[in-house]
Amino acid sequence: MPRTRLPNFPDFTQTKAVDAQLDRLDTRGVSRRDFLALASAGAAAGLTASVFGSPGVAVAAESGKLAYLAWTTRVEYMIQAAAAIEAASKELGFTYSLVDGQFDSTRQLNQFEQEATAGTQAVILHASDGSNLRRITEIAAQSNQYVANVWATLPWFTPFDAGDHYALYAVPEEFSAHRGVTVELLKAVTERFGGGNIIGVTGVPGFSTDTVRSRGRDDAFKDFPKTRLIGELPGNFNREDSLKATEDLLSRHKDVVGVVAQNDDVAQGVIAALRAAGLRPGEDVLVVGADGTTEGVNAIRDGKQLATSANSPAFFGAFFTAYLYDVTHGWKPRAAERLLNWRSITLTAGNLDVYQKRFVDNGGVQPFNYRKFSKVLHPTDWDPQNEVFPLDIDHEWHGFPKPEGWDYPKAYLDAKTNGEWEAVTAEYRDHYKTPFFGPSPNA
């Protein structure tokens, strides 16, 4: 069968044409033979799209190894995220490992160094705090690893400050998300009890995302004058510490009618402490959480928890895995794609069913099309499968002091002033085809 030549594209039957494309595209690890094998009539348009004006498309080579450095495996969110990362890695051809940091930044830094020595190409960093981030990104640059970081970070330290190997920092837009679940709580206690005393059980002190969630929580109170936050203690994002923190808060404060928990693991610790104190969660005291984990969803279904935010561990895991697949296969993100937010939906008993069927009781059906996240594998029809948009660092890190002498990275400022920010926002919106709040594309 003769080789097909596409109109307006090079003649890949000619050696010079192939070599020209290998020079112009980022084709690390791809031979002329591999290129020709991939450059069929159907693939050629995608593989050469970057040459003819489409951004960031490259030829795929062997995937290599990906590691998920979780700061603990005691938190349900990370266990569920790890399952999605493993599934996405298998689909994309990565070999995969989960590494438990055990709440210890120094241990996690040592683990990262071990992954560098082992030749791991891609690392999802889920740090216990941001203290090890500078050193990790330095090692990544030296060892040609790519890092994508979620949640905890050093405010005002961006991927642009560390170089190309710190590929991505991304988190849900947490201020609005946690404000939303707090509004549900304050509205309910105002309607049911006429207002009253609220306590907060937070996460890890100094953890950047915990601070952003607290800001969102506190902002909600100004719209509900009959409610007041009377005390808070850290629950370190896990059940055991949150149970103890709640017991301590209940011993100090009487007539508590609501608790804002900083994630769903915290909420489960709160619920256990309320029951131990002879209080009925969901009746005597209302509880909200965050992250949309299985336990949080089940607690809402059972009437013990009022609301959570649908941050979806599976989405985080899938999106980050595909992003690292792309950058390790030659895709070059634009500046506005290196700091990203995704949107969360407030989950209550009224809208829980769709989320539960897709992300919790799904009978083993994977919640996403993992390959469709990839711009390398789907250069023209990639799909973020959620609302994803550029992260505004002034909004994200509002209230955090800037380091002495700090200034905005030039690449970040250029993206906000040259139209790239708006273009990326529109592009991700236009490519968003599979509704996050809907059935799985695999159903």
Q: What are 149's strand-pairing partners?
A: 125, 169
Residue-range domain boundaries for the chain: 1-25+32-49, 65-172+312-431, 175-309
- In the prediction, which pLDDT does 393 show? 98
**DSSP β-ladder status, 256-261 and 286-288:** parallel
- In the prediction, which pLDDT does 34 show? 39
Residues of the chain with pLDDT under 50: 1-9, 12, 18, 21-61
**420 neighbors 335 (Cβ within 8 angstroms):** yes
Residue-wise pLDDT for 17-42, tens only, equals: 545 544 434 333 344 443 443 343 33
- In the prediction, which pLDDT does 39 show? 43
- In the prediction, which pLDDT does 63 show? 76
User: Do 65-172+312-431 and 175-309 come out as alike in CATH topology?
Assistant: yes
**95 neighbors 126 (Cβ within 8 angstroms):** no
- In the prediction, which pLDDT does 11 show? 52
- In the prediction, which pLDDT does 328 show? 98
Distances (CA, A) of 376 to 261, 310, 331, 428: 39, 28, 7, 15
Architecture in CATH for domain 65-172+312-431: 3-Layer(aba) Sandwich (3.40)
pTM score above 0.85: yes
Give the C-alpha separation, 73 to 76, whole Å. Answer: 7
Give the C-alpha separation, 419 to 345, whole Å. Answer: 28
The identity of residue 192, as a single letter, is R
Burial class (CB in 10 A: 0-12, 13-18, 19+), 350: exposed
Structure-token match 């500046």, residue found: 335
DSSP label of 29: T
- In the prediction, which pLDDT does 57 show? 43
**68 neighbors 80 (Cβ within 8 angstroms):** no
The identity of residue 13, as a single letter, is T
| 197 phi and psi angles, rounded to 5 deg | -90, 135
Count of Cβ atoms closer than 10 Å to residue 177 Cβ: 27
Architecture in CATH for domain 175-309: 3-Layer(aba) Sandwich (3.40)
**Within its chain, how far is the Cα of 129 from the centroid?**
16
- In the prediction, which pLDDT does 62 show? 59
Closest CA to 393 of 343, 338, 327: 338
